Structure 1
Amino acid sequence: MEGGEDPSTPNTSLRKSSSSLLTSNAVEAFSNPSREEDDEEALKWAAIERLPTYNRLKKGLLTTSRGGIHEIDIEKNLGFQEKRALVERLVRTAEEDNEKFLLKLRRRLDRVGIEHPTIEVRFEHLNIEAEVQVGSRALPTLFNFILDIAEGFLNLLHILPSRKQHLSILEDASGIIKPSRMTLLLGPPSSGKTTLLLAMAGKLDPNLKFSGRVTYNGHEMDEFVPQRTATYISEHDLHLGEMTVRETLAFAARCQGVGHRYYMLEELSRREKAANVKPDPDLDVFMKAIATEGQQSSVITDYVIK
């Protein structure tokens, strides 16, 4: 007890030191698995990055139901349950998470300087005319149908002059539809709204007389297939009663194909590899899945339903 020393001090210090060591070991023990998982994920991604671009677009890192991450072949191993779980993780609540998900897609493209393809539609000096029957002859009856065929044959032989009246549907119409902007077309009945939309979609009736220009990003309609770029949806919906909503959406997705998404993803993958950028695994699998052709069911179907 000399010098006023407390005999319990060394033991207390030893206990504190031991307690601190145990706490440190415990924290390290709990944190190690997380670091190991991150290291394992980094190794798996590095292995995917070493693949050629064609093969790299078919591989991804998918989070399992238990929280682990494993490498999958998107074309072969991404099943129905995996697609549904993937969409659920990306868009848990549609009203809150859909905008966040779309912003994540946009940020991934912006990070490597890829601009999303846009289309500007211009129509200049459109004139659309038709030759029509008037009065009771314009009614869609069986008698008028037979009479129209007979008159058309006689007109072709120049035996009977045509009794049809000239009708101007659109006259010198011009305008621009800007990309990424919703446009509302208004007008009174029979003012030519449907005819204008059909002309811009490349589905105009060949019997109509058409003059003027319709361009997509400066390209004339004969330079590409407009039906692969624009779609006119009629007011009359045709439903197949034998198909469910999911089957109808899946069928529509297969008919539309992947379009430009594959080539855009190909360039995105090259730039990210050059910049040493590692994307979000779930987002990467989603983008690769929607750019993969030949799938019986597309992840787009689950996203639209969600």
Structure 2
Amino acid sequence: KEWIEVSGGKTFDLPLEVRMEDFSYSVMLQPGANKVKTVFNSSFLYSLKKFYKKHVTKEEEKMEAPTKKVILDNINLVIEPSKSYLVLGPPQSGKTSLLRAISGHVKPSKRARQNKNQSIEGKILYNGKLLEEGGEEFFIENAVEYIDQLDRHAPRLTVEETFEFAYQCKAGGTLLREKHWLENEKQVEVVEK
């Protein structure tokens, strides 16, 4: 068996299979929480108008009840080792939430289940183990990582390794191979002159 050794002697078995079983994720949205900011509703005059309505004319805003938004609904999938997967979908279809769940950022733990603003059901198994069952030696971050669009680097990587990883993800090649090819091209130009 292959494994990754990280600081403190923690290990993780490779290859890794991720399995989601009946996974659902929903959140309670407060009224106006997903309202798109515009120049008008984010201006000082809009705030002044709301203040005037509330305090001077004593108009009360209609209080709407929070609504439930289902983000992931009964997802069943298997991510097998040594295969590439592509997640496609329209905006706000749950792509990021799915990737965050796979990488361990959305966990169906006891604490998350007690949270009144979100509902998480189902299981995510890593090599047949639940994340909570792994104990101290089970760090999913050592095998699966989600990096969002802001390209924050993993603190365990050097700067060069971070750039190499980002280049591999975005361009599909290796930066070192490209550098080597460019250096050879420069040498050929020098010899030809």
TM-score (norm 1): 0.33
Distance in 2, matches of 1:235 and 1:302, equals 23
Task: Give 5+ residue unaligned stretches, structure 1.
Answer: 1-115, 144-160, 240-245, 254-300
**Who is 1:197 aligned against?**
99
**Cα distance, 1:196–1:137 mapped onto 2, change above 3 Å:** closer
**Cα distance, 1:142–1:215 mapped onto 2, change above 3 Å:** farther
SS state of the match for residue 249, structure 1? helix
- Confirm whether residue 248 of structure 1 aligns to residue 159 of structure 2: yes
Larger Rg: 1
SS state of the match for residue 199, structure 1? helix
Distance in 2, matches of 1:170 and 1:121, equals 17
**Who is 1:221 aligned against?**
131
- Confirm whether residue 117 of structure 1 aligns to residue 27 of structure 2: no
**Who is 1:130 aligned against?**
27
**Cα distance, 1:305–1:124 mapped onto 2, change above 3 Å:** farther
From 144, 165, 179, the counterpart of 1:230: 144
**Cα distance, 1:304–1:128 mapped onto 2, change above 3 Å:** farther
Task: Give 5+ residue unaligned stretches, structure 2.
Answer: 1-12, 45-62, 165-174, 181-193
**Who is 1:164 aligned against?**
66
**Cα distance, 1:193–1:250 mapped onto 2, change above 3 Å:** closer
Distance in 1, matches of 2:150 and 2:15, equals 28
From 81, 87, 92, the counterpart of 1:185: 87
SS state of the match for residue 175, structure 1? strand
SS state of the match for residue 211, structure 1? strand
| 1:137-168 superposed Cα distances (whole Å, 9 cap, x missing partner) | 6456699xxxxxxxxxxxxxxxxx98321111
Q: Give aligned-pair identity as a percent.
A: 29
TM-score (norm 2): 0.51
With CA pairs under 8 Å and 6+ residues apart, which has the higher RCO, 1 or 2?
2
Distance in 1, matches of 2:77 and 2:34, equals 35
Aligned residues: 121
Alignment map for 1:270-285 (pairs within 5 Å): none
Distance in 2, matches of 1:220 and 1:305, equals 42
Alignment map for 1:53-92 (pairs within 5 Å): none
Q: CA RMSD in A?
A: 3.7
**Cα distance, 1:217–1:130 mapped onto 2, change above 3 Å:** same
What is the one-letter code of the residue matched to 2:80? K
Distance in 1, matches of 2:152 and 2:179, equals 19
SS state of the match for residue 14, structure 2? coil
**Cα distance, 1:229–1:130 mapped onto 2, change above 3 Å:** same
